[in-house]
Amino acid sequence: MSVWVMRIGHRPQRDKRVTTHVLLAARALGASGAFVDTRDEVLEENVRSVSERFGGGFSVKTGVRWEDVAKSFEGRVVHLTMYGQRLEEGLSKISEGEDLLIVVGAEKVPFEVYERADLNISVGNQPHSEIAALAIFMDRLTAGSALYSDRGGKMTVIPEERGKRVEERDP
């Protein structure tokens, strides 16, 4: 299974931290890569830098139309929205090993996204962030398997009860 994220409505001056966090959450929770509809080379470089240091081969491409990505994607398109079917219901319709394109919005999502999606899934029915929705969806999708997986990076975080421990690996 490969999971890709499509971020719609990114506004570089307003959303840079939020979109960065959407992509970092996707990467940390096992996604293969992400597309962002607005061109943002700084965002691409920042996310690539994390991938180079911590591993995982996560790819990011900005300045792509969601319609083009969804049309050419050979798998199921899942739109995370407050207005979709319940998370458990939607997850039960996803086959093991099925490739997914997960669409998350920044601003109001065009109605065409709801129509194009194979599944419109809600992660709760209260307003919250797309970062939270993506993280919960990805964790449930992978049954938590990505949380502590080794990505083979130059650096790795060692979980500890107190303090911070990051180890650099020999090249």
**Helix (H), strand (E), coil (C) string for 104-160:** EECCCCCHHHHHHCCEEEECCCCCCCHHHHHHHHHHHHHCCCCCCCCCECCEEECCC
Please tell me what DSSP assigns to residue 55: B
How many whole angstroms separate alpha carbon 2 and alpha carbon 16? 25
Averages of pLDDT over runs of 10 residues in the chain (171 residues) are 94 85 96 96 95 93 97 97 95 96 92 97 92 97 91 90 90 64
Please tell me what DSSP assigns to residue 161: S
Domains delineated in the chain: 3-144 (3.40.1280.10)
Q: Tell me what pLDDT residue 11 has.
A: 84
pTM: 0.92
How many whole angstroms separate alpha carbon 58 and alpha carbon 40? 17
Residue 139: closest CA among 117, 123, 159, 156: 123
Q: Tell me what pLDDT residue 35 has.
A: 98
How many whole angstroms separate alpha carbon 60 and alpha carbon 4? 10
Residue 101 pairs with which residues in a beta bridge?
4, 77
